[in-house]
């Protein structure tokens, strides 16, 4: 059974701990031949902040059409499982991730137009030491609003670039997550 897994990193730091964590899980999932994986970074897309015009309440889509929000959103729509990673920045997702989340207000008035209902997501959060709860709460409430089933949530501890992959305990969490996700899908 084909399974499309999108790994999306919301970290501004290229090849940082979040990118590493998402790629590690994708790599483990890709051992299953029927799985197709793709790794993307929110930071690689041009996404303007929501300007709060509220036109979406009438249009049931975003009035800001001159950037790459819709391009990235389509990637979510085309996936079966979203592996969403983000570092904790001041107890919350980083600004670029929050901008992406905010722009999905495009579909607030007509959530079915988001086309995410019934999809699954696993949330990976990376922090030096804390602030996970409010951070996860933002990501969870956002995905749930659009009908996404959050099947896993994993907290990872790392600070400097490269640190996560040097910590056996954190790498183990990622490998265990991949096994659980695979078992859940393939039984």
Ligand X SMILES: Cc1cc2nc3c(=O)[nH]c(=O)nc-3n(C[C@H](O)[C@H](O)[C@H](O)COP(=O)(O)O)c2cc1C
Q: Under the rule (CB under 6 A), what is the footprint of ligand X? A: 11, 13, 16-18, 87-91, 126-131, 158-159, 161
Q: How buried is residue 158: exposed, middle or buried, by Cβ count under 10 Å (0-12/13-18/19+)? A: buried
Closer to ligand X by CB, 103 or 135: give it: 135
* Distance in Å, CB of 70 to ligand X, minimum: 25
Listing from the earlier edge strand, what are the strands of the sheet with 81-87? 35-41, 3-9, 81-87, 120-127, 149-157
Q: How far is the CB of 58 from ligand X (least distance, A)?
A: 36
Select 20 or 102, whichever has its Cβ closest to ligand X: 20
Q: How far is the CB of 145 from ligand X (least distance, A)?
A: 24
Closest CA to 181 of 31, 15, 41, 10: 31
Contact 125, 86 (CB under 8 A): yes
User: Could you tell me which of 83, 87, 72, 91 has the C-alpha nearest to residue 143?
Assistant: 83
State the nearest-atom distance from the C-beta of 23 to ligand X, in Å.
Answer: 11
């Amino acid at each position: 059974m084909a399974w499309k897994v999108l790994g999306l990193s919301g970290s501004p730091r290229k090849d940082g701990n979040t990118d590493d964590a998402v790629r590690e899980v994708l790599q483990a999932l890709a051992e299953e031949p029927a799985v197709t994986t793709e790794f993307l970074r929110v930071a690689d897309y041009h996404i303007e902040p929501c300007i709060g015009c509220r036109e979406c309440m009438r249009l049931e889509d975003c009035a800001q059409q001159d950037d790459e929000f819709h391009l990235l959103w389509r990637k979510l729509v085309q996936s079966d499982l979203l592996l969403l990673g983000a570092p904790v920045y001041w107890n919350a997702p980083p600004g670029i991730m929050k901008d992406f989340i905010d722009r999905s207000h495009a579909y607030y008035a007509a959530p079915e137009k988001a086309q995410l209902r019934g999809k699954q997501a696993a949330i990976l959060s990376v922090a030096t030491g804390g602030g996970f709860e409010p951070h996860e709460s933002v990501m969870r409430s956002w995905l749930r609003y659009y009908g996404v089933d959050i099947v896993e949530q994993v907290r990872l501890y790392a600070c400097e670039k490269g640190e996560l992959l040097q910590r056996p305990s954190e790498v183990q969490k990622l490998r265990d997550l991949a096994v659980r996700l695979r078992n859940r899908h393939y039984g």
